[in-house]
């Protein structure tokens, strides 16, 4: 009757052998019972994404006893609830436990952690733990390193008083409230790092009477609800070299002089505080600061205090209200390397543009969102990131950028530059010169092995043809030449670019056929966004036109929310952005997820049928074919484009009915089929009937909501209709919640970027 438990027994022996194999490879000797506990621990969780060998690589055992002493899970290995009866708590010889970056969402921290009382290192950050930290944590008296940051812990400050050996304590990014225990620093003589950033803590902090007895070098208190009294004790922590007191929410301005006793201080974050203007002007402060971050401090004039900071490397004054010009002395600070002055009201740079920066050590310079005028300075010799977007600089783009081999991001978009596009763009990976007054043609000088990844020359006055040498840019991902006066045929030749994802040539004078001459379906292997509107393209598209759009054929799952052109660097980021203009949806300079696709062929002279293969583009969220001369029916296959949010087929010569199946596109928030020759009933359901009447006007034969004209012959198949109604009820609800919400197209996070939504 009952089967002997042989298979499972056999299985675990097999696992033990297998596991031992890995562990022996690591020259580690783990006892079988320990290995079994480890495997049991693994089985308590969903570990599909878990790489078995990585898991076991993170295990160490004691040479003499064979007990597990160290366990470090790879990121994202486990998902599930960490239960009090977990076999983890049997591994009571553990000294080092790192479970960071897994997903124990909604687990509270079991008090059984106290079994692991040999622990020296405990790291549980980024896990989604909730609830209070159990008091039993106080029995882990050997801990030197405790990191429970980036969870959802609540309640008062954990009971850590007895952990007298602690050297690192990181509670940041949780929801702890209440005060810091008054004797925290007194009872923890070895504490060198204390990170409490982003909690809801209040009150102040006590420091030992003899300040030199504190070993604290790193203290982060930012984004809590401390009061200003906390500054005074801090000023006694003379060994500090890193201090973050951002967002203190004090009622009176902070006097920077209070930090002058901190002779070792190298890094100071005081963002989002009100600062005493006079203390920003002091000339007698002797700081050795290397990094000073004062974002959003309401500063109105350039702080003279910086003059004395001869060691300064990193300066962030962004999001203040500083007026006037950037003083010339700033660039003479000998070590200055990163300067962020974005989002102020500065009017320019003091000094001669041909000289001020030529000897500067600056590598990252952000002047974006100011009101700077005049000609642009010759960039510093070792510049890596140079952004001055959204200012009013005039004159030519300085040709010296061609000489700056370290330059990666060059963004002078939204200015008033004139003259030619520099001939050396292919030296630079990311170039954005959008919305200027540049003239002439795009230089045909992209060399083999060009570095170009992003090239945005939109909204200039460029003429001529698209340079054929772009074919040398095999890394090109983003190409935007929209709103110029380029006169050329469709660049089928660009299909040779293996990485091209976004291509817009909206509003130019492109002409000719969009179908390749050899009638082979268009093939851009990675293309997701193609904007061709307002040109003079003509001819028809074959039914199989879209079959080779590989990148758009599959919808990437929600997890893969990766933005297109998200260039990440240790010290800067740049994100490709573009204007998306769909009727009812408008986004200037929006970020776009790699997993979605848009097509805009509107305002051309395209004719023939809409290709049935459009239905293959599972990732399509916006389609605009309006203002052409398309004929025939609306393809039924559109009902398969389930992510579609915006559909504009207006001003064509389409006939027949609107396929009822389109009523099921639950994300659809904008539809227009106005000015065609459609007839029959408008599909019912909120996506269609919720549209403006104007979305359907100019079709003599259409009837049903939202048009006032009702359809004369209502369907009579009672039972079927009931079923449908039920289903539609569900869809209705979804549509109200999602379809009329911001939707994906607009829900995409916006970068450094403005964004506007113009509802119909
Ligand atoms: C597991 O990770 C190791 C090293 O990180 C890698 O070599 C191996 O291919 C991975 N195995 C699987 C199945 O992903
Ligand atoms: C255990 O053995 C390894 C290699 O055999 C050696 O490197 C390590 O020091 C030993 N550890 C202890 C605690 O004896
Ligand atoms: C813990 O593991 C994460 C990655 O899994 C790593 O980034 C972190 O440095 C580790 N921390 C410690 C203290 O070992
Ligand atoms: C642990 O407890 C849960 C319920 O809380 C139970 O479902 C599970 O079987 C227990 N596991 C073991 C190994 O006892
Ligand atoms: C805590 O762990 C997280 C994730 O590994 C890490 O980013 C953070 O720097 C750690 N804190 C300390 C103080 O090491
Ligand atoms: C700390 O340790 C002392 C004695 O060593 C003990 O009496 C006290 O209860 C402990 N406190 C906590 C919070 O565990
Ligand atoms: C700042 O303090 C005031 C009271 O002084 C409080 O009402 C407000 O919520 C605090 N703001 C933050 C962000 O904590
Ligand atoms: C700062 O100093 C400058 C002269 O160096 C002076 O013009 C300005 O008024 C001072 N500002 C404040 C707030 O003291
Ligand atoms: C830049 O440095 C060079 C060499 O040190 C010097 O000759 C030149 O005058 C400097 N230029 C400026 C504008 O300071
Ligand atoms: C440029 O900056 C101004 C304010 O200085 C702002 O109103 C405008 O929207 C910005 N333009 C863009 C495209 O972000
Ligand atoms: C470009 O660099 C070379 C040396 O690397 C220098 O001789 C030349 O003057 C530079 N040109 C410009 C325009 O800065
Ligand atoms: C929609 O897709 C399904 C399978 O994905 C396919 O069988 C069906 O033919 C498609 N419908 C249309 C009208 O293309």
**What digits encode the pLDDT tens for the residues 168-179?**
999 999 999 999
pLDDT of residue 590: 66
Q: Which two tokens stand for residue 102?
A: 């897994």
Q: Do domains 342-476 and 489-498+507-525+532-714+725-731 have the same CATH topology?
A: yes
Q: Does residue 253's CB lie within 6 angstroms of at least one atom of ligand 12?
A: no
Name the one residue in this structure whose structure tokens are 């401090």: 297
Angle at 743 between CA 738 and CA 747, to 5 degrees: 130
Question: How confident is the model over 104-124, as pLDDT tens digits?
Answer: 888 899 999 999 999 999 999
- CA of 86 relative to ligand 6 center, distance in Å: 26
Pocket of ligand 7 (CB under 6 A): 225, 249
User: What is the CATH code for 342-476?
Assistant: 3.80.10.10
Q: Is the CB of 484 under 6 A from ligand 3?
A: no
pTM for this predicted structure: 0.84
CATH code for the part of the protein at 489-498+507-525+532-714+725-731: 3.80.10.10
% helix / strand / coil in the chain, to the nearest 5? 20, 25, 55
Question: Which among 393, 395, 456, 468 has a CA at the least distance from the CA of 425?
Answer: 456
In this structure, the dihedral spanned by the alpha carbons of residues 249, 252, 257 and 263, taken in order and rounded to 10 degrees, is -20
121 Cβ closer than 6 Å to some ligand 3 atom: yes
Contact criterion met (CB below 8 Å) for 332 and 356: no
Collect all residues with Cβ–Cβ distance below 8 Å to 450 and sequence separation of at least 6.
426, 427, 472, 473, 474, 475
pLDDT the model gives residue 745: 37
| Residue 1, pLDDT above cutoff 60 | no
- Residue 237 near residue 261 (C-beta atoms within 8 A): no
Per-residue model confidence (pLDDT) at position 747: 34
Determine the residue of 83, 84, 90 to mutate for testing ligand 4's pocket, defined as the one with the most ligand atoms within 8 A of the Cβ atom: 83
The residue whose C-alpha atom lies closest to atom 10 belonging to ligand 5 is 147
Q: Look at residues 494, 421, 423, 430 and name the one whose alpha carbon lies nearest to residue 460.
A: 421
Res. 738 pLDDT band, cuts 50 70 90: very low
Q: Where are the domains of the chain?
A: 342-476, 489-498+507-525+532-714+725-731
| Ligand 4 proximal residues by C-beta, below 6 Å | 83, 85
Atom 4 of ligand 2 has which residue's CA nearest to it?
27
Atom in ligand 12 nearest the alpha carbon of residue 636: 13
- Ligand 6 centroid – CA 67 distance (Å): 28
DSSP notation for 317-367: --SS--EEEEPGGGGG-TT--EEE--SSEEEEESS-TTTTTTT----EEE-
Going by alpha carbons, the residue nearest to atom 10 of ligand 9 is 359
Q: What is the pLDDT of residues 131-182, one digit of tens each?
A: 999 999 999 999 999 999 999 999 999 999 889 999 999 999 999 999 999 8
State how beta strands 573-575 and 566-568 pair.
antiparallel
Structure tokens at 117: 């009382």
Q: Does ligand 8 lie within 6 Å of residue 300's CB atom?
A: no
Span 440-499, pLDDT tens digits:
999 999 999 899 999 999 999 999 999 999 999 999 999 999 999 999 999 999 988 888
């Amino acid at each position: 009757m009952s089967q002997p438990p042989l298979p499972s027994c056999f299985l675990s022996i097999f696992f033990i052998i297998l596991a031992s194999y890995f562990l022996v490879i690591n020259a580690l000797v783990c006892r079988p019972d320990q290995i079994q506990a480890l495997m049991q621990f693994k089985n308590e969780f969903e570990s599909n994404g878990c790489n078995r060998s990585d898991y076991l690589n993170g295990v160490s055992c004691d040479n003499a006893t064979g007990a597990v002493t160290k366990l470090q899970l790879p990121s994202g290995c486990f998902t599930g609830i960490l239960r009090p009866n977990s076999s983890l708590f049997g591994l009571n010889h553990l000294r080092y436990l790192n479970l960071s970056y897994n997903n124990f969402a909604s687990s509270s921290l079991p008090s059984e952690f106290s079994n692991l009382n040999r622990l020296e290192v405990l790291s549980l950050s980024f896990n989604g733990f909730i609830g209070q930290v159990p008091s039993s944590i106080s029995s882990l008296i050997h801990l030197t390193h405790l990191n429970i940051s980036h969870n959802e812990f609540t309640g008062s400050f954990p009971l850590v008083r007895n952990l007298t050996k602690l050297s690192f304590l990181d509670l940041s990014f949780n929801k702890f409230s209440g005060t810091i225990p008054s004797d925290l620093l007194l009872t923890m003589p070895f504490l060198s790092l204390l990170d409490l950033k982003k909690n809801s803590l209040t009150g102040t902090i006590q420091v030992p009477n003899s300040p030199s007895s504190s070993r604290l070098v790193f203290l982060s208190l930012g984004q809590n609800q401390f009061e200003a009294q906390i500054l005074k004790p801090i000023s006694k922590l003379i060994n500090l070299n890193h201090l973050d007191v951002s967002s203190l929410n004090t009622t009176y301005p902070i006097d920077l002089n209070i930090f002058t006793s901190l002779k070792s201080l190298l890094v100071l974050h005081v963002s989002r505080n009100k600062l005493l203007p006079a203390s920003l002007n002091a000339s007698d402060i002797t700081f050795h600061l290397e990094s000073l971050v004062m974002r959003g401090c309401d500063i109105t004039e350039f702080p003279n205090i910086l003059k004395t900071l001869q060691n300064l490397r990193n300066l962030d004054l962004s999001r203040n209200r500083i007026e006037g010009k950037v003083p010339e002395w700033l660039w003479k600070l000998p070590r200055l390397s990163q300067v962020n002055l974005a989002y102020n009201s500065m009017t320019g740079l003091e000094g001669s543009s041909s000289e001020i920066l030529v000897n500067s050590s600056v590598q990252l310079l952000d002047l974006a969102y100011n009101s700077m005028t005049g000609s642009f300075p010759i960039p510093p010799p070792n510049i890596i990131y140079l952004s001055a977007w959204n200012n009013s600089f005039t004159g030519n783009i300085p040709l010296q950028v061609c000489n700056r081999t370290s330059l990666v991001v060059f963004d002078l978009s939204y200015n008033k530059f004139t003259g030619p596009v520099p001939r050396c763009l292919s030296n630079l990976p990311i170039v954005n010169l959008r919305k200027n007054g540049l003239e002439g043609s795009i230089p045909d000088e992209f060399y083999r092995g060009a570095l170009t990844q992003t090239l945005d020359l939109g909204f200039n006055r460029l003429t001529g043809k698209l340079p054929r040498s772009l074919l040398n840019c095999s890394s090109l991902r983003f190409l935007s030449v929209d709103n110029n006066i380029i006169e050329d045929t469709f660049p089928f030749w660009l299909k040779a670019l293996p990485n091209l994802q976004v291509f817009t040539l909206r509003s130019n004078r492109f002409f000719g056929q969009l179908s390749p001459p050899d009638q082979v379906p268009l093939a851009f292997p990675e293309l997701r966004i193609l904007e061709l509107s307002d040109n003079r393209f003509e001819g028809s598209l074959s039914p199989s036109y879209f079959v080779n759009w590989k990148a758009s054929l599959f919808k990437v799952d929600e997890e893969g929310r990766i933005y297109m052109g998200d260039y990440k660097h240790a010290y800067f980021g740049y994100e490709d952005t573009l204007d998306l203009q769909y009727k009812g949806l408008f986004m200037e300079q929006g970020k776009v997820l790699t997993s979605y696709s848009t097509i805009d062929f509107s305002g051309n002279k395209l004719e023939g049928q809409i290709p049935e293969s459009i239905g293959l583009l599972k990732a399509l969220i916006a389609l605009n074919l309006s203002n052409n001369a398309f004929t025939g029916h609306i393809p039924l296959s559109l009902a398969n484009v389930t992510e579609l949010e915006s559909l504009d087929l207006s001003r064509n010569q389409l006939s027949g009915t609107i396929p009822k199946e389109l009523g099921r596109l639950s994300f659809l928030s904008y539809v227009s089929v106005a000015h065609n020759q459609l007839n029959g009933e408008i599909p019912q359901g909120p996506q269609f009937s919720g549209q403006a009447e104007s979305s359907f006007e100019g079709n003599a034969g259409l009837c049903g909501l939202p048009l006032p004209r009702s359809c004369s012959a209502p369907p009579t198949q009672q039972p079927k209709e009931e079923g449908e109604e039920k289903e539609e009820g569900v869809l209705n609800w979804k549509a109200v919640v999602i379809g009329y919400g911001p939707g994906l197209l607009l829900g995409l996070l916006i970068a450094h970027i403005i964004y506007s939504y113009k509802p119909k």
